[in-house]
Chains A and B, each alone.
Chain A
Amino acid sequence: MAAGITAFGAYIPRLRLNRASIAAAHKWAMPGLRGMAKGERSMCNWDEDAITMAVEAARDCLTGRDRSDIDGVFFASTTLPFIDRQNAGVIGAALNLEHGISSLDITGSQRAGTSALITALKSAGEGDTLLVAADARKAQPASSSEMQFGHGAAALTVGTGNIVARLVGSYTVTTDFVDHFRGEGQEFDYGWEERWIREEGYSKIVPQAVKALLEKTGVAGAQISRFVMPCTMKGIPDRIAKGFGIPAEAVADTLGEVCGDTGAAHALLMLAAALETAKAGDLILVAAFGQGADAILLEVTDAIASLPGRQGVSGALARGRKEDDYMKFLSFQGNVKLDWGMRGEVDNKTALSSEYRNKEMVTGFTGGKCSVCGTVQFPRTHYCVNPNCQALDTQEPYSFADSPARVMSFTADWLSYNPSPPFFYGQVQFETGGRVLMGFTDTDAGQIDVGSSLKMMFRIKDYDNDRGYRRYFWKAAPVSTGKEA
């Protein structure tokens, strides 16, 4: 049976750091950075990481569909929040996927996303595999990486039914070309000269894979509708495309100006952007570089027109808010240690037994719905909260993650510790019933009031820096209406 992509989704953090603010901060030492200071790069909020971004991209990908036929989760990233704890498992739990699914973390290279896609396509069976790629790469201050990187995620479902893009073929070159690396225990990548990477890396290795793929599939470069190739170096994708006769207009925007390079996620993020505007019959060639290269050829099918609407890359980009505060970026990245006072010293040790016992509630944001009176409530308890009911053990699991909600009360708290003060939180009233005292995220002063619309997002609740753990819960974010200031 033919395998292919059955749906796509994307997520880019709301905050977009103005590159000029990076250059301005380093002007005293590195005036040359000014040459790269164009546009903006996406940056994680303090409570975002590769897992939270992956969950949001996956939710976008799963828009309007039953999740019960997802039988596997692949998570590709080079910035896995946990080295030894399956990150894909957290994503599966946050999405309330069935328990009988396979799961896998895929890492170690910038082409982890495309390699995972090839693996998923080649092994596609009856159910769909959810493939998510996300990266929140950390860059050393004043490095070119700090300018080039962005944070983001993309998700695809891969299967054999209702395919929107069919796999025509793929080809992989594996070679131990070390353009950059990050050794164990290292915070930042270490890289070699960009000119060498361009000439001996991108310009020689990617074409090998593309050439082999086109030969293997019998497709001519001129037939390619969209050439998806992440590369922070200007002109390289165009040059490679030209070499194969791929039309110049087919070369996809690398999103460098508006987002930056999202690492292992970027090829899939660009692919998601391509699928957003694709039409039946389009041929999309994806090429990704990293200790070799992956090349994947996909053919868009009629089914693309019937996919339910989703945020996609354009929606994620439209949600952006410009950030000019480089010091905030440094702090969110953990690249500068501010004095948060004694309130920042609270021990956030997690009782792992409690977390496991309550994972549907906390990770999956599942409350209860009373089977007697219908009251929706959080948390799910033995006795129904409705004063006129109070039935015992009648609550069925009820997920709040996708329920629309509004602000019932709120405050902006400058006293309690929050890595991005003030801390916005308040009572959130769900339209289906039920209310929860929640932290707000992606919120600015004056943006919300009693009655404002909210949507739920999966975020980091607390860091336990003493033990290297982090715990996740859901937060409420204002429903934005397009591009913000």
Chain B
Amino acid sequence: MARGIRDKVAIIGMGCSKFGERWDSNAEDLMVEAFNEALTDAGIEKNQIEAAWLGTAFDRVHVGASALPLSTALRLSSIPVTRVENMCATGTEALRGATYAVASGACDIALALGVEKLKDTGYGGLPAGSRGPLPDLWVPNGSAPGNFAQLATAYSAKHGVSAQDLKEAIGHVSWKSHQNGAKNSKAHLQKAVTMETILNAPMIAEPLGLFDCCGVSDGSACAIVTTPEIAKSLGKQDIVSIKALQLCLSDGVESAFNTWDGSHFATTRVAAKKAYEEAGIKDPRKELSMIEVHDCFSVTELVTMEDLYISAEGQAVKDVMDGFYDADGPVPCQIDGGLKCFGHPIGASGLRMIYEVYLQLLGRAGPRQLKNPTFGLTHNLGGAPHANVSAISVIGRYN
């Protein structure tokens, strides 16, 4: 493969707003809140930023089109600012833009910022709307939980897992995130819940109950990136660098050919392999210190453990039930609460995950700090199991 992105770009500052139902805030407030934290963290002047990427998905419900909302909110004077949108991978996509710009030498310092203000729609869940003139004519108007819930029926059928066992395993996934989110003051949901509550919650899309679905939240997160050399020249001691950034999109095979079985994400498997190679990771189950994955729904997290080659195929239920991904397990997953409890403002989520890995690597994660993490993986999924965007980043200490 090409030389890749490993260790070419360092993160020198990150920020993240409080996620949640931010009734008092608009998108500008959230962007400024995340950005100010990152700018302070980076210890640079705002005018040292030479290019910026804004990631936002449902622009029509909050900021509107183009990257102008970012350049005007932050008063970024006369620099290139670009808006990116790639469904739930949008935040990571923004970072990819900024990272590639720095790696190419086109600029020294770049900003990636993701934001989503979802709570102005008037209801829970993602905004429903047109999918385009042709899809509107034939694609069912299903919801996100409905699309992802289909993983459960296909996974059960493929691996011979009973509906009850699967429901309990995905329930444990949510239980774990709630345990973790309770230790995170920026998380949307900060209350631990019992398995009984999770299993008996109202049905959203069978077999996903209310507690199998992540929170639809308002929030923003951002990163300021530069080269490791410049980071050093700025006096940075502990440097966090980007080890891999991979993106893989469906080519329509899952939705229209006959090979995919509906139980996993073909794109995540490809992106994971490429990311491990780019990052120099041989055995993810042993080498990864922590992971933040796209747990939009509990069943998504469960199958993703296999797609990332951490659990063997068909073994995710066992690993989950064994506590392998719990806070005190070998590979803690969603130590910050995940999408489930930290919340899921679409455009911000990818950067929020990297924010947690960044904090952990720098020993700044407070009550949820892990022991001596070296590599963290983040993963986003946009779309639906049959047609999606999968993004993976690996972040680690720069040696």
> A-side interface residues toward B, CB under 8 Å?
341-343, 346-348, 350-351, 353-355, 358, 361-362, 375, 377-379, 381, 385-387, 408-418, 422-423, 425-427, 429, 433-439, 449-451, 461-462, 471, 473
Q: Is the CB of A433 within 8 A of B258?
A: yes
Chain A residue at smallest Cβ distance from B157: A450
Known contacts A358-B134, A434-B256; A415/B153 CB under 8 A: no
B2 within 8 A of A: no
Q: Which of under 10, 10 to 19, 20 to 34, or 35 or more describes the interface residues of B?
A: 35 or more
Q: Are A416 and B121 interface neighbours, CB within 8 A?
A: no
Q: Is B23 an interface residue (CB 8 A)?
A: no
Query: B interface, by DSSP: helix, strand, loop or mixed?
Result: loop
- Chain B residues with CB below 8 A from A341, complex form: 123
Residue picked from B255, B261, B385, most chain A C-beta under 10 Å:
B255
A385 touches B252 (CB 8 A): yes
Question: Please, which residues of chain A bring their CB within 8 A of the CB of B145?
Answer: 411, 413, 415
Contact A423 B151 (CB under 8 A): no
Chain B residues whose CB sits within 8 angstroms of the CB of A378 once the complex forms: 256
Judging by beta carbons under 8 Å apart, are B138 and A461 in contact?
A: yes
Nearest to A377 among chain B residues (CB) is: B256
Q: Which of A375, A423, A427 has the most CB of B within 10 A?
A: A427
Q: Are A426 and B203 in contact (CB under 8 A)?
A: no
The reply to whether B262 and A427 form a contact with Cβ atoms under 8 Å apart is: yes
Instruction: Give residues 124-181 of B contacting A (CB, 8 Å).
Output: 125, 128-130, 133-134, 136-143, 145-147, 149-154, 156-157
Chain B residue, CB-CB nearest to A359: B137
Instruction: Enumerate chain B residues within 8 angstroms of A414, measured Cβ to Cβ.
Output: 202-205
B386 at the A interface (CB under 8 A) = yes
Whole-angstrom distance between the Cβ of A403 and the nearest chain B Cβ: 13
Given the interface pairs A342-B122, A423-B140, A461-B137, the reply to whether A412 lies near B258 with Cβ below 8 Å is no
Q: Does the CB pair B123–A350 fall under 8 Å?
A: no
Q: Which of A342, A351, A413, A451 has the most CB of B within 10 A?
A: A413
Known A429-B258, A437-B255, A462-B141: A422·B206 in contact at CB below 8 Å: yes
Query: A439 contacts which of B130, B140, B151 (Cβ < 8 Å)?
Result: B140
Contact residue among A423, A436, A451 (Cβ-Cβ distance under 8 Å from B142): A423
Having A342-B123, A409-B154, one finds 10 other A-B pairs with CB under 8 Å, namely A348-B136, A375-B257, A381-B252, A387-B257, A411-B145, A422-B205, A423-B141, A426-B153, A435-B258, A473-B138
B142 CB to closest chain A CB (Å) equals 5
What are the interface flags for B227-261 relative to A under an 8 Å C-beta threshold, 1 for contact and 0 otherwise? 00000000000000000000000011101111101
> What are 15 residue pairs bridging A and B, where the CB atoms are less than 8 Å apart in the complex?
A342-B121, A347-B130, A355-B137, A361-B138, A385-B252, A409-B150, A411-B149, A413-B204, A416-B128, A416-B143, A423-B142, A425-B142, A426-B153, A427-B150, A451-B157
Beyond A348-B136, A414-B203, A414-B204, whether A387 also contacts B253 by CB under 8 A is yes
**Contact A413-B136, Cβ < 8 Å, known A342-B123, A437-B386:** no
